[in-house]
Structure 1
Amino acid sequence: MKLGIIIGDVRTSVPPAEHLDQLLRQVEAAQRNGFTHITIGQHFMYGDLRWLQPVPVLARLAAEVDPHITLATNIVVVPLYHPVLLAEELATLDIITAGRLVVGAGIGYRTQEFDYLGVPYGERISRFEESLELIRRLWNERKVDHHGRHWRFEGAEPHLRPVQQPHPQIWIGAQSAPGVRRAARLGDRWTISPREPLPALSRLWETYRRERETLGLPVRPPIMRRDLILGRDRTDALERFGAMAQGRYLAYANRELAALDADTVASNFSEAVKDTVLAGSPDQVIDQLRAIHDAVPLDAILVRPQWPDMSAADVVNYLDDLGRDIAPRLTEFAAAPL
């Protein structure tokens, strides 16, 4: 099993130059500690939190990391883009990263972002599906005629193709049975939400696998996004995680993320996250990972090392702890037969 990070947001009170410096220190520490995936998500107009945009960030990081490091948008909000713009941005990024790009693609969930950019929220799924179909064609065909619900082209001649052929891997996140079937149909791997408890994971994995087999497509192990915190024991680890992340989880709940209940997050944080956070001593965390991996044959786990109000030193210490106590033991998790 591989290990990766997802780069998060910081408060807008942090000067932009300091923000970049912290980000680069985080990436250096991750690479030094055996992490092989560097990923970043996306938001727009995010108020008092700053989320750097993924395409320019990953282009900058391409010059910082070793050739074996995977760089991923996880995720880019596909329905908010015109597909020609997104196809060319991502093809350019794949060229800059020398073919190390993975495209994590999502439909988005914040209605405000759609309102700001003038995209009807109710069209996000149809735009997502049509965009992915069109982007693949723009990456591979000499001329493109397209007559869809949202876009029309006659004799369009693409001039940018990614290094990876036929295209970079596309990861699609989903946390419901219809979404998982869509991910199986349109993507190359399923990415698992950080807030799916184990019983739901098992059911959704079976849904994904059956759909891929029905479509005659290869079944690849999924990627799991999961929060992970070490401590003396599980109680201590959850208390530490509350100090790091409770405010951010409450912000998530208040920013339309339906999987979180704001009242529970505010009043009993440990209870709110107990089924979805990997927490405890190193041995306890490995046991929790093993239980998940036995049910769902993971390819990689992505953790978030930085939360608002953490210092750069805090983030580096967190990554050093995982590099010492968790990363070397992931070799225990052999790829499960599919």
Structure 2
Amino acid sequence: MEFGFLLGDQPLSVPPEEHLDLLLRNVEAGQRAGFTHFTIGQHFLYSDYRWLQPIPVLARLAAEIDDDVRIGTTVLVGPLAHPVQLAEDLATLDIITGGKLIVGLGTGYLEREYAAFDKPYKKRYSMLEEMIELMTALWTQERVTFEGRYWQVDDMPTHVHPVQRPRPPIWLGAMKEVGVRRAARHGDVWTITPQQTIDQVADLVDIYVAERRALNLPLHRFPLRRELQVADSYDEALHDFAAVARGKYVSYASQGMGLLDQERVEREFLENVADHVLLGTGEQVREQITAIAQRLPVGPLLIRPHWPGMDAQQSARYLERVGREVVAPLKDLQSVGFD
């Protein structure tokens, strides 16, 4: 089993140079702890927290990563970009990383971001599908003619192609059945979000697999997002997780993230999150991950090493412990295949 983590946001009170330094130090500590995937999400005009933009951050990180490490976006808000610029930016990033880029795409969930870019929020899903088709053409063809509903290219040359052929892997984010079916049709994998129980995930995996097989498309293991907290006991892990994560979950819910109920998050945080967070001693967490791997074809497992308010030393201690008690002992764990 491979492990990775998300490089996250910071409160606006943290100076931006400290924010970048924290991300770099997290990657350094993560590599020492055995993590092999580093990803970053995207928001625009966000409230309360700062999201550094992924493509320049990942270009900076490319100089820091080991040969066995991959970096990626989880996820870019695809429809807010023009496919030609995004395709060339990502192809350039794939060149900079030496072919280690993963392209995670989604539609986001904030209508105000679409309003700021003068993009139709209600058409975001069809826009995402079309932009993937156009970007794939731009990455794989010498000249492109494209007549779409939203974008057109009339017999134009392409000049920036990715190192990975035919293109970097595309991970598509989704939370519900319709999005999972879209991921099956238009991407390489569905990135499993952390807000669902394993039972819910299992049902969606079945839907994804059936859709891929109907289209005669190859199957790949699913990147699994999960929050993870290790402590000397389960109760201590639950307490520690609440201490660092409650505020961020309340923020997510207040800004309209699906699958989170703001009132319940504020009133019953632990009851609302405990069934989809990996919690306990190192042994308990290893058992939880092993049980998932025996049920679902997953990997890598992506966690969050840092919550707003934690400093670099706290993140490093967290990563060292997770590396020692979870990552290293499970390095030979293989998840189930596809029946």
TM-score for the superposition, normalised by structure 2: 0.98
Letter in 2 for 1:262: Q
Note if 1:169 corresponds to 2:163.
no
Q: How does 1:196-207 map to 2 (within 5 A)?
A: 196-207=196-207
C-alpha contact 2:293 2:334 (8 A) present in aligned 1: no
The residue aligned with 1:195 is 195
Letter in 1 for 2:294: D
Letter in 1 for 2:64: E
C-alpha distance in structure 2 between counterparts of 1:329 and 1:213, whole Å: 34
Note if 1:53 corresponds to 2:76.
no
Deviation, 1:335, is 3.8
Q: How does 1:228-307 map to 2 (within 5 A)?
A: 228-307=228-307
C-alpha distance in structure 2 between counterparts of 1:152 and 1:18, whole Å: 42
The residue aligned with 1:36 is 36
Letter in 1 for 2:223: I
C-alpha distance in structure 2 between counterparts of 1:299 and 1:267, whole Å: 33
Aligned to 1:27, the other structure's residue is in SS state helix
Deviation, 1:202, is 0.8
Identity of aligned residues (%): 46
Letter in 1 for 2:212: R
Q: Which runs of 5+ in 1 are unaligned?
A: none
Letter in 1 for 2:152: R
C-alpha distance in structure 1 between counterparts of 2:32 and 2:337, whole Å: 30
Query: Please, which moves more after superposition, 129-138 or 211-220?
Result: 211-220
The residue aligned with 1:65 is 65
Letter in 2 for 1:55: I
Aligned to 2:331, the other structure's residue is in SS state helix
C-alpha distance in structure 1 between counterparts of 2:238 and 2:133, whole Å: 42
TM-score for the superposition, normalised by structure 1: 0.98
Letter in 2 for 1:310: M
Deviation, 1:124, is 0.3
Deviation, 1:287, is 1.5
Equivalences, count: 338
Deviation, 1:258, is 2.1
Going from structure 1 to structure 2, the CA distance change for 1:153 and 1:332 (only over 3 Å counts) comes to closer
Per-residue CA deviation, residues 171-219 of structure 1 (Å, 9 max, x unaligned), is 1122212111110111111110001101111111111111111111111
The residue aligned with 1:316 is 316
Letter in 1 for 2:199: P
Deviation, 1:299, is 1.7
C-alpha distance in structure 2 between counterparts of 1:198 and 1:155, whole Å: 47
Deviation, 1:332, is 4.7
The residue aligned with 1:79 is 79
Deviation, 1:255, is 0.8
C-alpha distance in structure 2 between counterparts of 1:294 and 1:321, whole Å: 24
Deviation, 1:291, is 2.1
Query: Please, which moves more after superposition, 326-335 or 224-233?
Result: 326-335
The residue aligned with 1:112 is 112
Letter in 1 for 2:156: A
Aligned to 1:275, the other structure's residue is in SS state helix
Aligned to 2:31, the other structure's residue is in SS state helix
The residue aligned with 1:156 is 156
C-alpha distance in structure 1 between counterparts of 2:214 and 2:295, whole Å: 21
Deviation, 1:304, is 0.6
Query: Please, which moves more after superposition, 96-105 or 227-236?
Result: 227-236
RMSD: 1.0
C-alpha contact 2:98 2:163 (8 A) present in aligned 1: yes
Letter in 1 for 2:165: Q
Query: Please, which moves more after superposition, 11-20 or 328-337?
Result: 328-337
Letter in 1 for 2:29: A
C-alpha distance in structure 2 between counterparts of 1:18 and 1:59, whole Å: 18
Q: Which runs of 5+ in 2 are unaligned?
A: none
C-alpha distance in structure 2 between counterparts of 1:153 and 1:205, whole Å: 35
Note if 1:145 corresponds to 2:159.
no
Deviation, 1:67, is 1.5
The residue aligned with 2:129 is 129
Deviation, 1:233, is 2.1
Per-residue CA deviation, residues 120-177 of structure 1 (Å, 9 max, x unaligned), is 1001001100000000000111111111110112111111100111000111122212
Deviation, 1:41, is 0.5
C-alpha distance in structure 2 between counterparts of 1:43 and 1:62, whole Å: 21
Letter in 2 for 1:52: L
C-alpha distance in structure 2 between counterparts of 1:335 and 1:289, whole Å: 10
Deviation, 1:102, is 0.5
List, as ranges, runs of 4+ consecutive aligned residues in structure 1 with deviation greater than 3 Å.
none
C-alpha distance in structure 1 between counterparts of 2:331 and 2:3, whole Å: 11
